[in-house]
Structure formats: C-alpha cells, structure tokens
Copies of this chain bind each other. A is one copy, B any other.
C-alpha cells in the first residue's frame, strides 16, 4: 500500500458487487456508505430514516436485499426486537457465495460465525468472536434428544460509553 494514496474503504465491496454482476448504483452506494461510516448495524427503518426521504423505503429494502445476497451484508434478528438488523461483513472477498434472493431468505453463505452484544441504552451493537463451548452442545443434544444444526447467542448489556 503506497503512502499518500488513500484507499477507498468501499472498493472491496464495490468489487464484490461487480463480480456478482450487480449494478453499482447511487442508491446502493448511499446505503453501503452508511454501513462504512461505522461498525453499526442498521435496520430497514433506521436506514430509511437516516437517509431521509431522499429515496423510497422499497429502494432501501431492495438495496439491502441486493447487498445481502451479494455477500456484503449479513442479516440477523435480536430477541425482543421487531426489526431485522443488517451489518457489514468484514472481509467480503473471503466470505462464501451469495445466498437466496429476498430478505428473510435463508442464507446458504456462512459469513464468519459470530455473535452480538447490544447496548440496552444506546443500541450500539458489537460483534463477538467468542462462541459457545463445544462441550455445551453435547450436553444440549443429550438433554434434548435433538441433533443441533445451528445456534444463536445474543447478549444485552451496557457498553463502555454508557457505563
């Protein structure tokens, strides 16, 4: 990386879009821009509010949908929250192939497995690279008689700023 030649943080994401033959449009760039401003997840509604009536809810919806199916965003839900969250995938060049069409469609892609912690005061969501110990899985399978195929672990708390 040469000095004095600033790298566009959006570049790898736009590359990925082009590779997926998804047009790089103003709407999609504006939505992606919001995700690049910080490591903050957005919901359809929060993005729409944040972007003003500059463009339609359905456009935000379809931009999110396109970015998700192209593997730039991942989608998750939090217990107790009605809205679906989206967050930027860190290394789009490494993540798996795009999943099914439409929001809510199950992703076949497996973006780097992780969990979340949400601040109950300011709503900040952080990613956690920590996971459930393997031993627990065995215990759960024994206790329930199920074979486990996925798990979701979410924490709620007070972030460093709000403490």
A-to-B contact residues, CB < 8 Å: 76-82, 104, 106, 117, 119-120, 126, 128-130, 132-133, 136, 139-141, 143-160, 163
**A129 CB to nearest chain B CB (Å):** 7
Identical chains bound together, number: 2
Which 8 pairs across A and B sit closest by C-beta, in order of nearness?
A: A145-B160, A146-B157, A148-B157, A79-B152, A150-B156, A77-B79, A151-B155, A152-B154
Q: A79-B77, A133-B136 are in contact. Are A128 and B144 (CB under 8 A)?
A: yes
Provide the residues of chain B in CB contact with A153, threshold 8 Å. Answer: 132, 151-153
Provide the residues of chain B in CB contact with A104, threshold 8 Å. Answer: 82
Q: Is the CB of A149 within 8 A of B145?
A: no
Q: A77-B77, A151-B154, A152-B154 are in contact. Are A160 and B132 (CB under 8 A)?
A: no
